[in-house]
Structure 1
Amino acid sequence: MATKKTATKGLGKGLGKGIGALIPEVETSSKEPIIKEVEVVKEVVKEVPVENKVKISLVEPNRDQPRKMFDEDALIELSESIKQYGILQPLLVQKKDNYYEIIAGERRWRAAKMAGVKEVPVIIKDYTTQEVMEIALIENIQREDLNPIEEALAYQRLIKDYRLKQDEVAEKVSKSRTAITNSLRLLKLDSRVQDMVVEGKLSSGHARAIITIEDKDKQYFIAQKIFDEKLSVRDVEKLMRELDKPEKVEKPKPENDFVYRDLEEKFKKIMGTQVVIKNKNNNKGKIEIEYYSQAELERIIDLFNKVK
């Protein structure tokens, strides 16, 4: 299987040949284990990672892990695979005071607990808080495990907490700066709309299309309309263009307007076609007579000639 390389600065000493070499993605179904390599480091170091086994009770997830939601059905499938094949690839962890914190591999840890595993294979490394954040973010992004809001929040944290610029974040995760900017814009959405994105009710494309709606209640209303009516992104963009159009202000009708409407009906009966009287308050206006063919025009002309 081809390995996709992504550059990550400042992690050379800790990751060796990268997450792909240490903890590639393991079983995705109970039928057959599938190993998906994910390499996330730029430099290759000489040290060979040493695998250890520790009690699963001593391993804890990273509270700052970008990924907050895990698919329950997928975890059950993975736990069944672990029961059959074991944990084929170790978790990447770092030593804390009296436990080991997961840097990468929380999904396997959760599935292993479901499978009743007592010990898990680990590779123990030592990273800075920023490096841990970067590794967790990159691993999840490359495996497409994060929902759009989780991804945006992770980018925001790298920018705010570690004072990285958007182009620096883009380089670390191998995405364009535009992609990072578009992702961060999702955080401007109303919290209720963000929840809909997290729940999969709205795609990031749908969400970005309604970001410009400043009224949060209106934004949420449109988001519900998108979900209920199963609108495509193109449909939403069309809807937004309609919302942006200035509302037509109806001009007040002239006094005695009902008199002119009555005259219209009389003209229609006499001429056998659509007649519109456009009157103004200054006793001026115009009469429009519609025709739909040359023959009908000639018929109307004959009517006028008979009046003579």
Structure 2
Amino acid sequence: MAEGRRGLGRGLSALMDEVDPAIAAQQGARSRAETPIELIQPNPDQPRRSFPEAEIEELAQSIREKGVLQPILLRPAPRAPGRFEIVVGERRWRAAQRAGLVAVPAVVRELDDLQVLEIAIVENVQREDLNALEEAMAYKALLERFGRTQEAVARAVSKSRSHVANTLRLLQLPPAVQDHVAAGRLSAGHARAIAASENAAALAERIVAAGLSVREAETMARADKGAPRKAAARKAGSKDADTLALEHDLAEVLGLDVGIVDHGGAGELTIRYETLEQLDDLCRRLTRG
């Protein structure tokens, strides 16, 4: 694996300042220089899609007063000779235009499409600039376009595999729920809480309308998911008080839904989890010691 790839998890400084000079020369890195804004174009695969107007104006005001303090990272535009494509720093580029600058400090590197996408994802994730849906779409691009595994993606962005897997699950939500996440009305935690529900869209509307916390959303999703099971249990016949009490005690200890079916001393114990984090936590509990 190339040195640049090993340094991805350490952020942009590893890519611009801490690369060995010999490697930088081999990869065709160029020194920092003022680059005309008119020669710079955004990356069409930029993971971040939302650039709030207020945020750009605030940064533009800072640039008017202090200038661009950190150079943006560019590469030669693959299909536009003489121009440059943004790898990291589109927000600064937009704000610099708003501030009236004609050039910005930049570092130009020779990077392929996979490196560009990985670097952009790492930088945005570290700065927490992506909403959960943008993050999920970026991971999906690494998986589908570049053949990365979830484990490899997790290493690249310094996240757990379960985090990557659960973030990707957001793309399975109904479009209406995804819209709430993209607009910031629902957090990733809210979305994960209702991801397994057949009534996710309706639950999302209730969460947004009532301003529920993630914990409250989880409770509501469990109640919604448990309603059909409880109805089926009533139809099939009620469990005895001892079985119900044991289910309740185990659920309290594990923090998960527990079901017990007893047939005269033999039966089944079912533990239901809704996220990989819950499964990881259960495994740690069961294997402790």
CA distance in 2, matches of 1:11, 1:117: 34
The alignment's C-alpha RMSD in Å is 2.5
- Equivalent residue, structure 2, for 1:234: 215
The alignment's TM-score, normalised by the length of structure 2, stands at 0.70
- Equivalent residue, structure 1, for 2:53: 72
- Equivalent residue, structure 1, for 2:272: none
User: One-letter code of the match for 2:133?
Assistant: I
The alpha carbon displacement at 1:19 in A equals: 5.4
- Equivalent residue, structure 2, for 1:150: 134
The alpha carbon displacement at 1:63 in A equals: 0.6
Contact 2:11 / 2:122 at 8 angstroms: preserved in 1?
no
Please state whether the residue corresponding to 2:21 is helix, strand or coil: coil
Q: Is 1:130 paired with 2:122? A: no
Which residue of 39, 42, 45 corresponds with 1:58?
39
CA distance in 2, matches of 1:145, 1:248: 44
Identity of aligned residues (%): 42
CA distance in 2, matches of 1:92, 1:143: 15
Structure 2 gaps of 5+ residues are 25-29, 236-289
Q: Is 1:103 paired with 2:49? A: no
Which residue of 86, 92, 95 corresponds with 2:67?
86
Deviations 1:199-223 (A, max 9, x none): 1111111111111123xxx321210
Contact 1:40 / 1:139 at 8 angstroms: preserved in 2?
no
Poorly superposed stretches of 4+, deviation over 6 Å: 13-16
Q: Larger helix proportion, structure 1 or 2?
A: 2
Deviations 1:150-200 (A, max 9, x none): 001101110111111111111111111111111111111011101101111
Distance 1:77 1:65, change over 3 A: same
User: One-letter code of the match for 2:192?
Assistant: R
Structure 1 gaps of 5+ residues are 1-8, 22-38, 252-308
- Equivalent residue, structure 1, for 2:268: none
Which residue of 2, 19, 28 corresponds with 1:10?
2
Distance 1:125 1:229, change over 3 A: same
CA distance in 2, matches of 1:164, 1:15: 17
CA distance in 2, matches of 1:219, 1:136: 31
Distance 1:19 1:100, change over 3 A: farther
Distance 1:223 1:160, change over 3 A: same
The alignment's TM-score, normalised by the length of structure 1, stands at 0.66
Q: Is 1:45 paired with 2:20? A: yes
CA distance in 2, matches of 1:175, 1:55: 36
CA distance in 2, matches of 1:19, 1:233: 30
Contact 1:94 / 1:102 at 8 angstroms: preserved in 2?
yes
Please state whether the residue corresponding to 2:105 is helix, strand or coil: strand
Aligned residues: 221
Contact 1:11 / 1:131 at 8 angstroms: preserved in 2?
no
CA distance in 2, matches of 1:158, 1:102: 18
Deviations 1:94-124 (A, max 9, x none): 1121311001111100100100111111111
- Equivalent residue, structure 1, for 2:144: 160
Please state whether the residue corresponding to 1:200 is helix, strand or coil: coil
Which residue of 166, 173, 190 corresponds with 2:174?
190
The alpha carbon displacement at 1:226 in A equals: 0.5
- Of the two structures, which has the highest relative contact order with CA contacts closer than 8 Å and spacing of 6 or more? 2
CA distance in 2, matches of 1:14, 1:123: 20
User: One-letter code of the match for 1:245?
Assistant: A
Please state whether the residue corresponding to 1:196 is helix, strand or coil: helix
User: One-letter code of the match for 1:144?
Assistant: E
CA distance in 2, matches of 1:212, 1:117: 49
Deviations 1:233-252 (A, max 9, x none): 2222222222222364999x
Distance 1:15 1:219, change over 3 A: closer
